[in-house]
Chains A and B, each alone.
Chain A
Amino acid sequence: MGSRREFLGDAVRLAAAATALGCDRSHKPPPLFEATVDVSTLTTDAASLVAPVTGLDGAPILIVRDGERRFHALSMQCTHEGCPVRPPDQGVITCPCHGSQYDLEGRVRRGPAQLPLARYAVEYHRWSKRLTLRVDS
């Protein structure tokens, strides 16, 4: 649920906006962000693709296969100064601007970045080979 914390600032703002608009609070609010992406082309571990949707932070989303049914969806915005990171090469995601490196789960391997890449919660649908990305409010 790291992703929930990571986008908490935005969630609070949107929730506040929803309250101000008099939205019905008796039901679970819709997610802040939801998208479903075809990942059938990711047939080997460490394979990746850039999702055809823009993320909650305005940056592209990198989807990485890390096992037969294990995927990570990461914001491609480097947490150092906001440059877009490159897709993984030999298991390492690198920022071309200042050389920060992340592992396939978005954790910092080498600075200057201090924070991991923002993550989206994911749900894999094995029969359709699609992945749902979500940020709950």
Chain B
Amino acid sequence: MSTRAPALLGTLIVAAATVAISTVLPAQDHAGKSSFVFVENTNGGDVSIIDASTLKVVGTIPVGLSPDDIVAAPAGDVLYVSRIVHRADGRPTGTGELVAIDPSSRQVSWRVGFRGVPNHLAVSPDGRRVYVTVVSGSYVDVFDAARHALIDSVDVGIGPHDIDVSRDGKTVYVGLIRGTDVTVFDAASNRVLRKIPFGANVRPIALSHDENRLYVQLSQYYGFVVADPHTGKIVRRVDMPMPKGAKTPDTLPVTTNHGIRITADGKYLIANGSMTDLVGIYSLPDLRLVATVPVGRDPNWVTLTPDGRRVFVSNRGSDDVSVIDLASRKEVGRVRVGKYPQRMTSVALAR
């Protein structure tokens, strides 16, 4: 022990310094902009704006009850929110809304209604198309961002939920929460190319930057599954770690894990353990668990700042957002937001 102590002490000093530096340094990109994280609060009907440097809420944008997802256009000039429209008695109407927000003015720019209950969103890399999954149906609605208009519906199978677009914008991946497949369609023709079976209801998905791996969370599975999206073969199943002393329950909740993201440099996969209130950080491509970070209650989504240094995790059970420093792999802050925070996105903006 005594021979290891100085080395350990040195490591701790370095680690502490890393935390201190990362906490102090503002989250700014090369253009002098600052990062802001936008958090949709489903039961509050609004979007909280977190300054990623100060970790303070600097604004709130009302959008109406039950926003379900929020994504930023690649240029960072528009935020899109999908919203499940409810009646006065609290029941869903069976319709949805696509809401566009100007992140600089923090105002709603436009909104358009449509048939069906929406879930998640994705924007094409060129920003021209917005894809909305309609979970009550079997289709993905395709909107023209410039015209604010629904231009096509792609039949992908019952219950589309999460959605991801390849970096070249050519291929769209859609997980089916009421089915067990990920449906892949061609973005140019909107024709289905293939279906990848997972054997359980599909929850959040993350496509690797090179499009050679698809990471998938499933209902009632405490872990995630890795598939080759070209062959459709499952290549690995990764069980998430349980907290010390905790035992895996006999019956897992439906939403066991929710939220999975790959860092911008492609070196790490961040996966929420929603039923255990922790986040697993895995190195890529070897999928080695490099850290387990306790967070707030029922973590639901993961987003990263544009500079890639910080991971934001929404804790919908405790109405707050955990902030993890990726270098030290520690929680460096927790930000109180609105009611039932779920999905998030981040953009770099001029102050």
Contact = CB atoms under 8 A, between A and B. Distances in A.
Interface residues of B, number: 25
Contact of B91 (A77, A84, A97, A98): A77
Contacts, number: 66
B87 interface: yes
B58 to A, nearest CB: 29
Contact of A99 (B66, B90, B253): B253
Nearest to A83: B135
Contacts of A8: 89
A99 B92 CA distance: 17
B159 A83 contact: yes
Interface string B87-123: 1111111100000000000000000000101010000
A99 B90 CA distance: 18
A52 interface: no
A81 B135 contact: yes
A125 interface: no
B68 interface: yes
Interface string A66-100: 00000000000111011110000000000011110
Identify which of B88, B117, B178, B253 gathers the most chain A CB atoms within 10 Å of its CB. Answer: B117
A96 B203 CA distance: 12
Contacts of B287: none
Contacts of B92: 77-79, 81-82
Contacts of B68: 81
A115 B91 contact: yes
Contacts of A79: 90-92
Contacts of B89: 5-6, 8-9, 115
Contacts of A82: 84, 92, 94, 117, 135-136
A114 interface: yes
Contacts of A115: 89-91
A59 interface: yes
A83 B255 CA distance: 15
A6 B91 contact: yes
A98 B91 CA distance: 16
A115 B89 CA distance: 9
A5 B90 CA distance: 12
A118 interface: yes
17 contacts: A8-B89, A9-B87, A9-B89, A58-B115, A77-B94, A81-B66, A81-B117, A82-B135, A83-B178, A96-B159, A96-B178, A97-B177, A97-B178, A97-B254, A98-B254, A99-B253, A114-B90
